[in-house]
Amino acid sequence: MKTVFEKIRDREIPKEFLYEDDEVMAFYDIAPLAPVHVLIVPKKVIASIAEMDDADAHTVGKMFLIARNIARDLKISEKGYKLLIRVGRDGGQEVPHLHLHLMGGARLSENIHPV
């Protein structure tokens, strides 16, 4: 079964992309946790950082550069922002398809305490 991000990649769920190339896509999170909340997602399904291969390092590195560029474009770079990757159950990962959260536009709380 496809993840929601594969459906977005395959245009089964319509989505406006802030960035797209052969390897990576970026779009706004549907349930934003910050005034700016963007997801940067590899088109290849890498289930999580725990399951990435050495060969995925280029793509994952590129995700961070794209996040930096989007932060600049959306004018949140100067004040700063948060980049977050959740890994597995205890990390709170809900979609088993690697994604980098870019969050900013306000001072963000830590909120990392055990539930």
Task: Kindly report each contact of residues 78-87 with a partner whose C-beta sits within 8 Å and lies 24 or more positions away, as own/partner.
Answer: 79/104, 80/104, 81/36, 81/105, 82/34, 82/108, 85/49, 87/48, 87/49, 87/50
Question: Looking at beta carbons only, is 48 or 77 nearer to ligand AMP?
Answer: 48
Give the separation between CA 47 and CA 102, rounded to whole angstroms. 19
Q: How far is the CB of 48 from ligand AMP (least distance, A)?
A: 9
99 is catalytic: yes
- Token pair 């459906």 is at which residue? 7
Interface residues with ligand AMP (CB under 6 A) are 4, 13, 29-31, 39, 86, 92-95
Question: Looking at beta carbons only, is 8 or 71 nearer to ligand AMP?
Answer: 8
Q: How far is the CB of 80 from ligand AMP (least distance, A)?
A: 20
Q: Which of 97, 99, 101, 113 is catalytic?
A: 99
